[in-house]
Structure 1
């Protein structure tokens, strides 16, 4: 079930926004009655003012280093909608130049 709730999009984004040959780490942890998945990359990172809008429909980061990356700004929005409709949560932690970690959690019951 976890793969149908946003993980493929988060992994493909990690690949798209990271330099070739860098490590992308995917983890799944059981925390009480919740499964938490994290996808950590070594990408260009996301500015704090972009993080608050990242899961909005059609929002694309306006970053010079990301201009060559194609997309319509709906992948993270759809992932968030699916996860939230399964009573889950999605969020990101990021630092410019050091990468990002996207998380989502889903109830197990």
Structure 2
């Protein structure tokens, strides 16, 4: 299992119901996108986002809602190497994830 991060990693402000202070920052030319699937429970996806990225419950729930309603959400941005690690981590949790160039979401 991936290590728990002490600080939240970057991700876009996916949900409009979060204040600017609650939204993760955006940085880096690469992004990790998590895609909707018919297998994982929404509560499990929230758990994964909180465990791996150390997101607060509101941020994790907002990202999960975006995955559920829009089919995908960008959950982190940064260097290609870091995003490859995040994609592999999401796969290890059983989530569908892809590496993308930032700005293509």
Larger of the two Rg values belongs to structure? 1
TM over 0.5: no
Give me the TM-score of the superposition, normalised by structure 2.
Answer: 0.32
Give me the TM-score of the superposition, normalised by structure 1.
Answer: 0.32
